[in-house]
Amino acid sequence: MIGAAAEVLLYAVAAAASALVLSATLLVIRSERPRPNSIAFLSGFLAGTLIACALGLALGQAAVDRFSSHETLKAVVTLLLGLTLLVIGFRARHTPPRPEERSSRATAIFAGLRTVGPAASASMAGLLGFGGPKRLLLTFLAMAATTDANLRGIVDLALVATYVVVSTLLVSVPVGIVIVAGDRADAIFARGQSWLSEHAAALRVWLSLGIGSALVVDATLRLFA
């Protein structure tokens, strides 16, 4: 139980650490209709995360049933993901950042969130919650860890709930502040959004390096334990 919980927590923190998700959240909570848009955004993000978790649980159980070396396979996938993030981080660190450099996916999401209402915000958040390649793979690994623990009932649900809560913190905490504080929180989030815009490139580098290092260490320890 303790080993599975530690694995799930590691993957959840790695999934939560996303500059894209935080930027999108700050954009939504500073829109013209912050409360309804924020609530819809959080609801969609949670729904997308839960769908990914359900799919991950199904795949994890299938791996347990079909592969005797599923634990080794999971460690290898973790190692490859960690190494990929390290390569991305080191390459970005030695590449001069371009102004407003964003992926086409991020550009589309941000452009949409500036103009849409609650329903569309929930849909876009659902895609973010389900995840791009990194977040989706981390969700699958976390659910595989839950399946590998050979636990049942309330303990399984507790591990899944832990992943969902931790991996959505960068959305749930700002939205919670907006719901409680309303317009009084706008100045705080304005400063946060400005800081994030100025340091986005460096933040992506250090997140890639930090998460990649943690995943490589975790996978290596499990492969050679």
pTM above 0.75, yes or no: yes
pLDDT of residue 136: 93
pLDDT of residue 168: 96
The list of the chain residues with pLDDT below 50 reads 99-101
pLDDT of residue 129: 92
Residues near 161 by beta carbon (within 8 Å), at least 6 away in sequence: none
In whole angstroms, give the CA distance from residue 208 to residue 14.
9
pLDDT of residue 153: 54
Q: What is the pLDDT of residues 143-192, one digit of tens each?
A: 888 876 565 555 578 889 999 999 999 999 999 988 887 777 777 777 77
b (16+ CB within 10 A) / e for 191-209? ebbeeeeeebbebbbebbb
Indicate the domain borders of the chain: 2-25+34-220
pLDDT of residue 154: 57
Q: Look at residues 157, 132, 156, 145 and name the one whose alpha carbon lies nearest to residue 78.
A: 145
The CA angle 71-74-137, to the nearest 5 degrees, is 150
